[in-house]
């Protein structure tokens, strides 16, 4: 336990020393909340439009941050460790390379929770946004969304030989997912067929679950099942395929 605590603290320090990590988490979510908070001021947008955007926007920021953390940052970090031989060297120590995986997972999950709190507290206290309508729904969709995307990120890390390869695969998955999932633009603006396909992606299912919860409805069972299946399938694949060198 002591070794895990030390490893997690070390990895967190390395995370904070990377300018891109600090910019994207928590810098980008906070910036987006401030910008859209001003735009969605009661005097700056009609009530009907404001209510609709307040269901969409916090979910969008949360899912975007999760995607950056799990699909881009974490896989490139772990694959970079493999490329540089760090994981192989750790295998000869009492700590073992497995602690790096656990530490990276804990850091990503903790930063996801911090982002959720940052968005909620800043939006509520500073800009007067209403609290989520279904807190239990937010919790369930959030936990399953984090699990599914962490599993996807670990899978990308497991099949990537180098950090650059992990970044390339992550970008290949990241940008199409943003549009299909309804993150880059509301799902209502997509063609019905594409919007339906997007519901069965991890980003899309998480996005819809968080939007529904924000509006006061518990997430649909189909969306929660999609997240659970992705978490189990990609998690199992990552465990099977992951190599330390």
For 125-143, write each residue's pLDDT tens digit: 888 787 888 899 999 999 9
Q: What is the pLDDT of residue 95?
A: 65
Give percent above pLDDT 90 in the chain. Answer: 36
In this model, does residue 156 exceed pLDDT 90?
yes
Structural domain boundaries enclosing 153? 2-241
Give pTM, 2 decimals. Answer: 0.89
**Cβ 165 vs Cβ 79: under 8 Å:** yes
Give percent above pLDDT 70 in the chain. Answer: 93
In this model, does residue 198 exceed pLDDT 60?
yes
Q: Take residue 161 and report the two structure tokens written for it.
A: 């030989």
Contacts of 36 (CB under 8 A, 6+ apart): 53, 57
Classify 65 in phi/psi space as left (phi over 0), alpha (psi -120 to 50) or beta.
alpha
Least confident of 30-34, 91-95, 171-175: 91-95
In this model, does residue 41 exceed pLDDT 80?
no
Number of compact structural domains in the chain? 1
**Helix ranges, the chain (H):** 2-17, 19-22, 28-39, 47-67, 74-83, 86-90, 98-127, 135-159, 163-180, 192-198, 202-215, 221-241
Cβ atoms within 10 Å of 117's Cβ, excluding its own:
11
């Amino acid at each position: 336990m002591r070794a895990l605590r030390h490893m997690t603290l070390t990895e967190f320090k390395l995370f904070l020393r990377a300018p891109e990590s600090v910019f994207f988490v928590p810098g980008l979510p906070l910036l987006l909340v401030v910008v859209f908070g001003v735009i969605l001021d009661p005097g700056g947008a009609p009530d009907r439009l404001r209510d609709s955007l307040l269901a969409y926007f916090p979910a969008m920021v949360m899912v975007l941050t999760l995607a950056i953390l799990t699909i881009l940052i974490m896989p490139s970090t772990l694959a970079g460790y493999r490329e540089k031989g760090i994981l192989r060297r750790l295998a000869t120590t009492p700590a073992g390379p497995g602690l790096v995986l656990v530490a990276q997972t804990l850091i990503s999950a903790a930063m996801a929770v911090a982002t959720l709190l940052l968005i909620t507290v800043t939006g509520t206290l500073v800009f007067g946004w209403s609290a989520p309508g279904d807190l239990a729904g937010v919790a369930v969709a959030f936990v399953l969304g984090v699990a599914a995307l962490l599993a996807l990120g670990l899978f990308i890390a497991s099949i990537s030989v180098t950090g650059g390869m992990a970044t390339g695969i992550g970008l290949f998955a990241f940008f199409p997912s943003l549009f299909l999932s309804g993150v880059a633009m509301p799902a209502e603006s997509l063609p019905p067929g594409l919007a339906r396909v997007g519901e069965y992606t991890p980003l899309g299912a998480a996005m819809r679950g968080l939007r529904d919860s924000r509006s006061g409805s518990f997430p649909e069972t189909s969306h929660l099942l999609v997240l659970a299946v992705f978490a189990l399938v990609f998690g199992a694949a990552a465990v099977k395929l992951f190599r330390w060198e």
